[in-house]
Amino acid sequence: MKPRQNEMRALDLDCFDCQLPLICDLDGTLIKSDSLHENLFDAFFHSPQQLLRTIPKWFKGRAALKEALANVRSIEPQALPYREQMLELIRRAKAAGRETYLVTAADQSIANDIVSYLGSFDGAKGSNGSLNLRSRRKLRWLQESFPRRIHLCGRQCRRPADLGGGFWSRSGWQRSEVRKPTP
């Protein structure tokens, strides 16, 4: 039976090189929603006056907006809609001794709060108020931080796959290829 677009199939992590770090995206991958939307709605309902004070930051770019919203009201990590399969994958990777990282376009403070709450990551990298860590900027950061190979879980992979968008192995940072588990 073919899974629905928003569902994920189980993935056998043992089919992948356990020496490679597992990099996980946040929005649409680790959580079912978008952290910017979560943050915006939370601020709207709990701190509407402070939210209005962030409007000037909206014109300074997404990174400034994300930082301003996180400063108004931080997301409560325990209230986020996590994908249980991703949490299990990360736990299994960690138990096997694999390095795991959360790399997201969400504000760094949100990434830090989630990493602290879950306790399953070795580190986190997020946007910082002046740099919105998405798309090519995220790719550049990943290339600089992990020059060899990684396993990347994230919807930025642009293909429907096992983990909320893709499970990719980037080898030497040449053209990206999907690596499917072999039986």
Dist. CA 29–CA 88, nearest whole Å: 13
In a domain, residue 19? The reply is yes
> pLDDT per position in the chain (183 positions), as tens?
444 444 444 455 566 667 788 999 999 999 999 999 999 999 999 999 999 999 998 899 999 999 999 999 889 999 999 999 999 999 999 998 999 999 999 999 999 999 999 999 999 999 999 999 998 899 889 888 988 777 777 765 443 333 333 444 444 333 333 343 333
CB atoms within 10 A of CB 82: 16
Residue 7 lies in a domain: no
Question: What pLDDT is attached to residue 74?
Answer: 87
Residue 161 sits in the same domain as residue 110: yes
- The structure tokens listed for 147 are 């020059």
Vertex 157, ends 142 and 10: CA angle to 5°?
105
122 and 171 together in one domain: yes
Residue 38, pLDDT score: 94
The answer on 108 and 161 residing in a single domain is yes
Domain residues for 170? 13-33+82-178
Considering the domain boundaries, does residue 4 fall inside one? Answer: no
Domain count, the chain: 2
44 with 29, same domain: the answer is: no
Q: Does the pTM of the predicted model rise above 0.85? A: no
d(CA 23, CA 26): 10
113 shares its domain with 64: no
CATH number at residue 17: 3.40.50.1000
What is d(CA 170, CA 151) in angstroms, rounded to the nearest whole number?
Answer: 7
Contact 151, 20 (CB under 8 A): yes
Angstrom distance (rounded) from CA 111 to CA 118? 11
77 lies in some domain: no
* Angle at the Cα of 142 from the Cα atoms of 69 and 25, rounded to 5 degrees: 50
Do 98 and 173 belong together in one domain? yes
Residues 90 and 135 in one domain: yes
Query: Domain for residue 116, yes or no?
Result: yes
